[in-house]
């Protein structure tokens, strides 16, 4: 049963039930779907699994359940995000440099794109992917499918979609935007890769 069939009053107990899940700070629920704001990426993974179980048991459609983590806690359990730098280049182009930390070493990734708020989000996400290729040896074959800021319920979110030619499944990363959209785009890439990259580096 889609959530759009529920009225506002009926959504309240669903929200309360989801907010009782471990690691969930807040559940944003309306007729279009659910976003779980979680304290960490690990919490987001387990909360999403439990939320889908609750959806199946209650008989409502859980296809639109998504998770988001706070930027300051979403990427620190494996590869740590350090910062993002914007550098203006000639001919209306912008270089974005993303730095991450792995095993006490700062690693940098760069990408160049056209100037413009939405265009620079994609450049920042590409720079984050470039930094990841410096960590992974051999490199992980991942491509950027898209990056988009969205407003879901009463929160500003940054969503990144990654894909691999070898896999039919896209990886999605979502973080709260905060004050710097380029920073959020880079963090969303790391959030999308958190579990995959952690398992990869562990081996």
Instruction: Select from 73, 190, 68 the least CA-distant residue to 127.
Output: 190
User: Would you say 190 and 100 are in contact if contact means Cβ atoms under 8 Å apart?
Assistant: yes
| Number of other CB atoms surrounding residue 181 within 10 Å | 18
Confidence of residue 109 (pLDDT cuts 50, 70, 90): very high
Predicted TM-score of the model (pTM): 0.60
Domain ranges of the chain: 3-69, 80-202
> Does the pLDDT value for residue 121 go beyond 50?
yes
d(Cα 76, Cα 155) in Å, to the nearest integer? 22
CATH architecture, range 80-202:
2-Layer Sandwich (3.30)
Q: What's the pLDDT score for residue 181? A: 94
193 pLDDT above the threshold of 90:
no
Split at pLDDT 50, 70, 90, the class of 199 is: very low
Q: What is the pLDDT of residues 133-177, one digit of tens each?
A: 777 666 677 889 999 998 877 788 999 999 888 777 788 888 988
Q: What is the pLDDT of residue 98?
A: 94
Of 46, 16, 20, the residue nearest 29 (C-alpha): 16
pLDDT greater at residue 181 or residue 51: 181
* Distances 86 to 67, 151, 186 between C-alpha atoms, Å: 28, 24, 12
Confidence of residue 40 (pLDDT cuts 50, 70, 90): confident
Strands 33-38 vs 65-69: parallel, antiparallel or unpaired: parallel
Q: Which of 21-25, 96-100, 123-127, 192-196 has the lowest mean pLDDT?
A: 192-196
């Amino acid at each position: 049963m889609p959530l759009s069939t529920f009225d506002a009053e009926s959504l309240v107990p669903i929200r309360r039930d989801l907010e009782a899940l471990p690691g969930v700070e807040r559940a944003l629920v309306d007729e279009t779907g659910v976003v779980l704001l979680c304290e960490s990426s690990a919490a987001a993974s387990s909360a999403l699994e439990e939320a889908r179980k609750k959806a199946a048991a209650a008989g409502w459609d859980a296809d639109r359940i998504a998770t988001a983590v706070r930027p300051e806690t979403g990427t620190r359990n494996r590869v740590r995000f350090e910062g993002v730098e914007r550098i203006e280049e000639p001919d209306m182009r912008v270089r974005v440099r993303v730095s991450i930390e792995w095993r006490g070493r700062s690693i940098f990734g760069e990408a160049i794109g056209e100037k413009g708020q939405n265009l620079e989000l994609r450049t920042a996400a590409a720079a984050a992917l470039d930094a990841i290729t410096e960590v992974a040896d051999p490199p992980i074959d991942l491509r950027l499918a898209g990056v988009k800021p969205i407003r879901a319920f009463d929160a500003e979110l940054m969503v990144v979609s990654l894909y691999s030619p070898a896999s039919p499944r896209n990886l999605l990363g979502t973080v709260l935007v905060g004050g710097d959209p380029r920073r959020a785009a880079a963090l969303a890439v790391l959030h999308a890769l958190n579990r995959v990259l952690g398992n990869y580096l562990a081996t």
